[in-house]
Structure 1
Amino acid sequence: MTSDIMTVEKDEAAGWFRSLQDEITAAFVALEQSQTQGPMSDRAPGRFEVTPTKRTGDDGEDAGGGRMCVMRDGRVFEKVGVNVSTVYGTLGQAAQASMAARGVPGIEEDPRFWAAGISLVAHMQNPHAPAVHMNTRMFWTPGAWWFGGGADLNPCIEYAEDTAHFHDTLKAHLDPHGADLYPSLKAWADEYFYIPHRKRARGVGGVFMDDRCTGDWRADFALTQDIGRAFLPAWLPLAEKRRGMAWDEADKDAQLRHRGLYAEYNLVYDRGTKFGLATGHDPDAVLMSLPPLAKWA
């Protein structure tokens, strides 16, 4: 990226996403190691495979990359990915048109962009332990900057108390930024994580935002950080509580069918998946969110 506009802010955001990745992966490794009783406890604890990712621009030049951390076949996690990336370059015509339609100023005259973020998806061994998604990101173009992301819970076997804990924790982290913010971002998540062709939500919701630019970069970044900070206290206690429960074939069947819903959503509707593939990012990192196994009728 040749422009030095907002260099300090970009570096701060990208660095924070990397530090959040470190914090979350350490917590996940500890969760694996502490699973010493119950289902799957006789196998070796899972470990993250860490792989650098790279994006190459249309001109063949370096266009950024990131770090992909994926754990497979652990005691608690069947598959979990926690990825960070910082990418930049020039948007293609389709992406330019999409952003122009969203009101991004000047994008067709100067289609340079910069984006950094973290993306997490966890698919669990135990069907009683809820799958979960979280991502936060910053996007910059010469005419605008904004933040986006959120978190949502995706249980195949729902527990009302788990849903309440997840939402209550998100609300507690968002309330300092304004009492109206959690209800607004919850409603946005309900709308965004809906699967029209199935006429149902993919999970029990959470919070979601996009194009967040109040004009106060520091305040918007602080909100984005608190969405990320809320993740572990919102989700980790649920995994700890459910990971040791017994399950049967019917439970596993329900999990695999729910994963089919998750795969459909991510491949058909998810904005991040579309952007990552359209801009040439590492497809393995973009499609990290897909479950290892899924089932359809």
Structure 2
Amino acid sequence: MSDPFDDRKARASAWFRQLRDEIVAAFEALEDSQTTGPFAGDAPGRFEVTETKRDAADGGDAGGGLMSVMRGGRVFEKVGVNVSTVYGELGEAAQKSMAARGVPGMADDPRFWASGISLVAHMQNPHCPAVHMNTRMFWTPNAWWFGGGSDLNPCIEYAEDTAHFHAVQKTHCDKHDEAYYPRLKEWADEYFFVPHRGRARGVGGIFLDDHNTGDWDADFALIQDIGRAFLPAFVPLTQKRRDTEWSEADKDTQLVHRGLYAEYNLVYDRGTKFGLQTGHDANAVLMSLPPLAKWV
């Protein structure tokens, strides 16, 4: 007997792959169009694509995905765009984590399926903001939900850039419910806060998790629009700032801010913990870490 969710899983997995392809193409186009600045004489950056596999406890097939990483480009110092679809049984640590979040039936049936896209971009020019985005679907025999969002992480803040990024997110959320954006913005402000530093890691964005209204199609449409918002929210900021001249002090500010970003991802980020707990490729899970960082 087939799982009634099989078609929905396939649709979600295909969407995340489509979004990945669109973002990779847009980022490589930014590299091609960068004809000024200190890296203009270099070859335009290109993504290196590696297949990833999740290790199953019994050695069987447990899914995987694509890790796409660009290093040392004209615009991007390091950017990763990962997509994966993994499944199997949750380990004890992941089961306990899910049960603590209120996911029903974890003690009785640890089977799961998860698919999503995860992106982090670290820029050459300190005036260009770093950015993070992910969207995902999670399924267990007793529950399903969507999660994700995107947030902007400039080391040198521009109020108009922050306003643009948030305005695009709001427009895409408002198509579904005008109550979504303010709630998801507040959620992002809380989630991307670094307690031991007493500050946010960036200027926020939107975030949601465990999203299940009972209407799968409506929830899937929302998560698609959260994904669609990413390129129009981020690419214009890169185009605006990528030719701004920077100083060594600006670069130092960027490296210190990257240290904050690394601290958050290693200590608090739920996706990092889940990926490592479930045996996914460690290089793919830790793709978000910057190529260089500094602590004072």
- 1:169 corresponds to: 168
* One-letter amino acid of the structure 2 residue matched with residue 177 of structure 1: H
1:3, CA displacement in angstroms?
6.4
Asked if 1:71 is matched to 2:73, the reply is: no
Aligned-pair identity (%): 75
Distance 1:102 1:21 in 2: 29
Q: CA deviation at 1:207?
A: 0.1
Structure 1 residue aligned with 2:130: 131
Identify the residue that residue 41 of structure 1 maps to in structure 2.
40
Quote the residue 2:197 is aligned against.
198
Distance in 1 (alpha carbons) for counterparts of 2:100 and 2:28: 42
Q: In structure 2, how many angstroms separate the alpha carbons of the residues matched to 1:206 and 1:9?
A: 27
Q: Distance in 1 between matches of 2:20 and 2:289?
A: 19
Per-residue deviation at 1:38? 2.1
Query: Equivalent residue for 1:283?
Result: 282
Match of 2:58 in 1: 59
C-alpha distance in 2, partners of 1:264/1:3? 43
Could you tell me which residue of structure 2 aligns to residue 83 of structure 1? Answer: 82
- Quote the Cα distance in structure 2 between the aligned partners of 1:211 and 1:5: 20
Map 1:90-129 to 2 at 5 A.
90-129=89-128
Question: One-letter code of the match for 1:29?
Answer: E
Rounded Cα–Cα distance in structure 2 between residues aligned with 1:94 and 1:35: 46
**1:11: which partner in 2?**
10
Q: Which amino acid aligns with 2:137?
A: M
What is aligned with 1:258?
Answer: 257
The separation in 2 between residues aligned to 1:241 and 1:40, in whole angstroms, is 17
Aligned-pair CA distance for 1:13: 0.1
Q: How does 1:237-248 map to 2 (within 5 A)?
A: 237-248=236-247
Aligned partner letter, 2:228: R
Q: Which runs of 5+ in 2 are unaligned?
A: none
Q: Tell me how far apart the structure 2 counterparts of residues 235 and 172 of structure 1 sit (CA, whole Å).
A: 14
Counting matched residue pairs gives 296
Secondary structure in structure 1 of the residue aligned to 2:279: coil
Q: Is the 8 A contact 1:81 1:120 kept in 2?
A: yes
C-alpha distance in structure 2 between counterparts of 1:95 and 1:67, whole Å: 23
Structure 2 SS opposite 1:177:
coil
Matching residue of 2:216: 217
Q: TM-score, normalised by structure 2?
A: 0.99
Contact 1:121 1:133 in 2 (8 A): yes
* Equivalent position amino acid for 1:116 in 2: S
Deviating 4+ runs (over 6 angstroms)? none
Aligned-CA RMSD value: 0.9
Q: CA-to-partner distance for each residue in 1:190-229, whole Å, 9 max, x for gaps?
A: 0000000000000000000000000000000000000000
Query: What secondary structure, in the 3-state scheme, does the structure 1 residue paired with 2:243 have?
Result: coil
In 2, Cα distance between equivalents of 1:292 and 1:98? 30
Q: Kindly provide the CA deviation profile for residues 28-79 of structure 1, in whole angstroms up to 9, marking residues without a partner as x.
A: 0000000011231111100100000001211111100000110000000000
CA distance in 2, matches of 1:110, 1:25: 37
Mapped to 2, the partners of 1:5 and 1:258 lie a distance apart of: 46
Give 1:96's aligned amino acid.
Q
Distance in 2, Cα, partners of 1:48 & 1:241 = 23
Q: Distance in 2 between matches of 1:179 and 1:67?
A: 35
Gaps spanning 5+ residues in structure 1: where? none
Distance in 1 between residues matched to 2:195 and 2:103, nearest whole Å? 27
**Corresponding residue for 2:28?**
29
1:168-188 deviation line (CA, Å, top 9, x unaligned): 000000001111110000000
Aligned equivalents of 1:200 and 1:94: distance in 2? Answer: 29
Q: Give the match's secondary structure for 2:175.
A: helix
Structure 2 distance, partners of 1:55, 1:5, is: 24
CA distance in 2, matches of 1:174, 1:146: 17
SS of the residue corresponding to residue 173 of structure 1 reads helix
